[in-house]
Amino acid sequence: MQTETAPTAADIREARERIAGVARETPVYSSETFSRISGRDVWLKAENLQRTGAFKVRGAVNRLATLTEGERQAGVVAASAGNHGQAVAWAARQAGVEARIYVPEDAPMAKVEACRTYGSELIMVGERFEDALAAALTNVEERGATFIHPFEDTVVIAGQGTIGLELAEQVADAETVVIPVGGGGLAAGIAIALREVRPEVRLVGVQAGLSGFTIADGIFVKKPGELTMSILERVLDDMVEVDDEAISEAIVLLLERAKLVVEGAGAVGVAALLGNKVGSGSGPVAIVLSGGNIDPTLLISVMRHGLTLGGRFLVLRTRLPDRPGELVKLLTLIAQERVNVVSVEHHREGMDVPVAQTEVELTLITRDQEHVAILLGAMASWGYEVERLE
């Protein structure tokens, strides 16, 4: 691989011209909900509405457009946690270039199937992005194809930087811009662009706490690249971390209040805002929602977890006398508290329950944590011993 250097603002302007009409200029939306919570105007840059569902298509299209004819004939290879692979697959199809994509074995199926749909050869290998990267580089050496790195590539970074040029026009008075950081290509490109046209803006990078598995799979890399880190150390004002609990809450609020489906990596900026981690200014904040390719099964789990944290779902266990009418009595009392019952499970066998009692597990829909507290207090006053299940 050639030694890469940081792109210039001129490179990013050229990239914008190169990808025009192929990658979308995505909208920004104001958010009354997040503005009220944070006490400052909040704007959401919806890269989750980009082609292939994430910002990555910008860099991929820019890189494919710079291939020589010989490189086009040899094809391209990419390694990805999912979004970069989709982007390269889509851009290669548009350009008529053969592509081979390497992804971890546990990559989200929504992203894996998209790569196949776009017509690229897909190879699943290893547990993490680094495993897929090693396999991809070996294949490049064997085949002589062009490797398109997801972030350690000058031309790819320049493509991602076009978001910065758009933000400078769309939210001209932004005081702070918040950007997800995985490998660092997105943040590096945006920061270079904004430092050129809006040098006074505060730039905050957000990482997922990488103690193990994270729902922010799109930025689940061990660390940013050497090139991107050298850029970020120079141009970012701050780098913060958020955990999965905060990311989950952000995904739920984005879906419920902003009507935007955003994956974990795309929601880290909102999570940082909600956690008061983006700085103490009072001016407008622009947050990059980097992608929306969340696996449906994960989305269901995140929504249930987020609703539970917000007091919207409640699972509890209690005991009743094992005689006719007791369950109806309990459910009637619960209904009087305006609580909806989703499911009821009886436990008799295999449980340490007195012979004259039965254990009941209830899944309930409540309004909020205050409503939960009122219900639990009421059940205690009715004589029920309740165990709340998480």
Does a structural domain hold residue 1? no
Indicate which CATH number applies to the domain containing 245: 3.40.50.1100
160 with 234, same domain: the answer is: yes
**Residue 4 falls within a domain, yes or no?**
no
Mean pLDDT of 101-105: 90
pLDDT tens sequence across 254-289? 999 999 999 999 999 999 999 999 998 889 999 999
Regarding whether 86 and 130 lie in a shared domain, the answer is: yes
Residues paired with residue 76 on neighbouring β-strands, in sequence order = 99, 146
Query: Domain check: are 299 and 319 in the same one?
Result: no
pLDDT of residue 217: 60
Helix (H) or strand (E) holding 380, with range, is: helix 369-381
The answer to whether residue 111 is domain-embedded is yes
Name the average pLDDT for the chain: 91
Residue type, 286: A
Examine the domain organization and report whether 140 and 179 are in the same domain. Answer: no
Alpha carbons 75 and 213: distance in angstroms, whole number: 33
Q: What is the CATH number of the domain that holds 347?
A: 3.30.70.260
pLDDT value at position 113?
81
What local confidence, expressed as pLDDT, does residue 114 receive? 81
| 300-344 tens-digit pLDDT | 888 888 788 778 889 999 999 988 999 999 999 999 999 999 999
For residue 289, what are the β-bridge partners? 46
Read off the pLDDT of residues 6-62 as tens digits, 9 standing for 90 and up: 999 999 999 999 999 999 999 999 999 999 999 999 999 999 999 999 999 999 999
Q: Which amino acid is at 168?
A: A
Mean pLDDT of 197-208: 96
Last residue of a domain, one of 281, 306, 331: 306
pLDDT of residue 338: 94
Report how far Cα 328 is from the mean position of its chain's Cα atoms.
Answer: 43
Q: Is residue 271 domain-shared with residue 343, that is, in the same domain? A: no
* Residue 164, pLDDT above cutoff 70: yes
- Angle (CA) 224 255 305, round 5°: 80
The pLDDT > 70 percentage for the chain reads: 94
Tell me, yes or no, whether 41 and 177 share the same domain. yes
Q: Do 271 and 185 have their domain in common?
A: yes
Give the per-residue pLDDT at 143: 86
Q: Using the 3D structure, point to which of 266, 285, 306 is the last residue of a domain.
A: 306
Token pair in block for residue 25: 């200029």
Which parts of 28-133 are beta strand (E)?
Answer: 28-30, 42-46, 76-79, 99-103, 121-124
Residues 6+ apart with CB under 8 A from 348: 322, 358, 359
DSSP 8-state assignment for residue 291: B
Residues 326 and 247 in one domain: no
Cβ neighbours around 14 below 10 Å, total: 17
105 found inside a domain: yes
- The residues near 43 (Cβ < 8 Å, ≥ 6 apart) are 28, 29, 30, 31, 170, 171, 174, 284, 285, 286, 287
Q: How is residue 168 annotated by DSSP?
A: H
State how far the alpha carbon of 11 is from the alpha carbons of 139, 193, 262, in Å. Answer: 29, 9, 29
114 and 262, same structural domain?
no
List the beta bridge partners of residue 288: 45
The boundaries of the domain holding residue 320 are: 312-389
- Which contiguous run of DSSP H or E holds residue 286? strand 285-289
**DSSP per residue over 5-17, as a string?**
-PPPHHHHHHHHH
pTM of the model: 0.85
Element (DSSP H or E) covering residue 203: strand 202-208
**Residue 3, domain member (yes or no):** no
Look at the chain and report how many structural domains it folds into: 3
**Domain end residue (candidates: 284, 306, 328):** 306
User: Tens digit of pLDDT for each residue in 64-96?
Assistant: 999 999 999 999 999 887 789 999 999 999 999
Q: How far apart are CA 273 and CA 288, in angstroms?
A: 12
* Residue at token pair 């905060």: 246
Same domain, 122 and 247: no
Its sign, for the CA torsion 333, 337, 340, 345, is negative
- Looking at the predicted structure, is the pLDDT value of residue 179 above 80? yes
Q: Is the pLDDT of residue 111 over 80?
A: no
Is residue 247 situated within a structural domain?
yes
Residue 19 is assigned to a structural domain of this protein: yes
Does residue 45 sit in the same domain as residue 164?
Answer: yes
Residue 1's pLDDT band, with cuts at 50, 70 and 90, is very low
Q: Which amino acid is at 203?
A: L
Residue 211 has pLDDT above 80, yes or no: no
Q: Is residue 139 one of the residues assigned to a domain? A: yes
| Residues 69 and 100 placed together within one structural domain of the fold | yes
Q: CA 47 to CA 218: how far, in whole Å?
A: 13
The answer to whether 60 and 32 are in contact (CB under 8 A) is no
